[in-house]
Amino acid sequence: MNFEVLDFPCKHGYSDSFISEDVAQKMESDFPSWDSDAWDKYGTVFESEYGYKKELNDKAGMPESISNFIKDLESDEFVSRLISATGIEDLFIDDGMYGGGLNIYPPGSQLTTHIDFNYNNDIQAYRAVNLLYYLNSDWDESGGCFEFYDTNLKKQKVITPKLNTCMFFVTNNSSYHGVSRTSDKFYRKSIAIWYYTKEPPPNLSVEPHRTLWVK
């Protein structure tokens, strides 16, 4: 679980071999398919002019292999490593995983460039760090790439969502990002974890706001 940590276009870390390949393959195999009733029973659908995906943040509906992996990402040891990498103190997890958890994008979908919501009212805390882990062994120039933009909305970095790739980035007023359009046969699978602080970290608006979409 080691990252290469970089400062541009915002503080972020990246690994293309985050955990053992066997564990990654097991999680991919266990990940609910697009047609699984788990999404209806435990999840929600995000559908708007800005994107389309299914989300599952209820741990009761997650396969054991994936819930165990998430426990590792929520552990004191791992959170301490994120604190060291980002310089943001007192990070903690939202147990309800609002807006996070398991995500699946259908063929032909995307997520428009945006800055994330900065405050979770349910836990009275500021969103400080995003972590994304990908489960797509079938990725082959299939779109669905994570894209970083600068404050002029010029694309600066692209990360492919290949199996066992993991990344984190600091959420702030300049962390513009989005997901490119997936191909017509590709279902993009990922796990998303948000880390919070009680006080706003540097370069994050104190005034709460929802997701800010770039039209």
pLDDT in tens, 170-182: 999 999 999 999 9
pLDDT at 215 exceeding the cut of 80: no
Q: How many domains does the chain have?
A: 1
Q: How many residues does the chain have?
A: 215
Q: Which of 98, 125, 126, 115 is nearest to 211 (CA)?
A: 115
CA 199 to chain centre: 21
Distance CA 97, CA 58 (A): 8
pTM of the full structure: 0.96
Nearby residues of 105 by Cβ (< 8 Å), 6 or more positions away: 51, 52, 53, 111, 144, 179, 182, 187, 188
The answer to whether 170 and 12 are in contact (CB under 8 A) is: yes
Nearby residues of 140 by Cβ (< 8 Å), 6 or more positions away: none
- Quote the pLDDT of residue 2: 82
The mean predicted confidence, pLDDT, of the chain is 95
- Quote the pLDDT of residue 142: 84
Q: Domain with 102 in it: what CATH number?
A: 2.60.120.620
- Residue 129: give the domain boundaries: 4-213
pLDDT in tens, 37-75: 999 999 999 999 999 999 999 999 999 999 999 999 999
Burial of 24 (0-12, 13-18, 19+ CB in 10 A): buried
- Quote the pLDDT of residue 8: 85
- Quote the pLDDT of residue 154: 96
Give me the mean pLDDT over the 143-160 stretch.
95
Give me the mean pLDDT over the 187-193 stretch.
97
